[in-house]
Structure 1
Amino acid sequence: MAHVNSPYGVNMAVECGIDTIEHGYFITERELYKMGEKETIWIPTLSPLGNLVINKDKRFEKDIDIIKRVYEEHLKTVNLAYEMGIKMAVGSDSGCHGVLHVDGTFDEINHFVKAGIKKEEVIKMSIKNGMKACNLSEGEKKYLTKCLK
């Protein structure tokens, strides 16, 4: 897994054979194609910026326009990735400012929905791709799938 942003950083990580990209802010369609070719799973972590925007966090009041612009671009890229069939999963970056443990996962699902992906689809792809990203055994996958029913 690589926590990386920028087209250059993501491209380098994908070329090195990384299994998952966490964050991936500022990437372009080019990096999405590469992730698709290599079956890299993208965990876009929308909550850190999205929660600041939604909650109108006063701590970042002077920078909120920039934060909002970056967040909205990331939403568009997530939607494009979904349309392209890029494997994605939910990861909220919980524990960072404004992203509470447990709640962060639900926030992240809602941000994916805001990006234009149906909630049921977000949950389905997150479970499938999350299990793959965690390299679960067949027994673990069966158990987890059974628990989720």
Structure 2
Amino acid sequence: MSKSFPTFGNLIRLEVYDIDQMKTLLNFLELSPNLESLVIDEVNFTGNGSGHVSTFKVVPHCLVVSLKSIEIRKFTGFLEMVKYVLKHGRVLQMVIIETYYSVDPTDRRYNNKRYNKKNIEAKRVEALNKSLMTILRQTPWASAGCH
């Protein structure tokens, strides 16, 4: 991280809407040492190596001392960021993940009366929730009091 960037010492809540590199978000978190709440709203991180968590060598200070909550809205199955925050978030108290599954409206099954879009979405969200809970139970959590 360059020393020329400002530090956002008064920032305690951050909502992220349009960011595609996880490393960019982690760099911003490093500049926000007192961040308490992080909201990620339907962010789609790209999978190239430059944005990969393992390339980020420093754990942002806020994860260790101040980040108490993280909320991910419209979660579509990208677990790397969630695992990273759980692994390093020592003072986390709450993690909220709103699962989301988008069904392709051109899917021919919608023309069949046995299926409808809501039922397909509900079943896929339920499957995503079950998979997510299994993975999160196996992930190490730095904060014992987090739920």
Q: TM-score range by the shorter chain?
A: 0.3 to 0.5
Task: State TM-score, norm by structure 1.
Answer: 0.39
**Structure whose residues are more often strand by fraction:** 2
**Structure whose residues are more often helix by fraction:** 1
- The structure with the largest alpha-carbon Rg is 2
Task: State TM-score, norm by structure 2.
Answer: 0.39
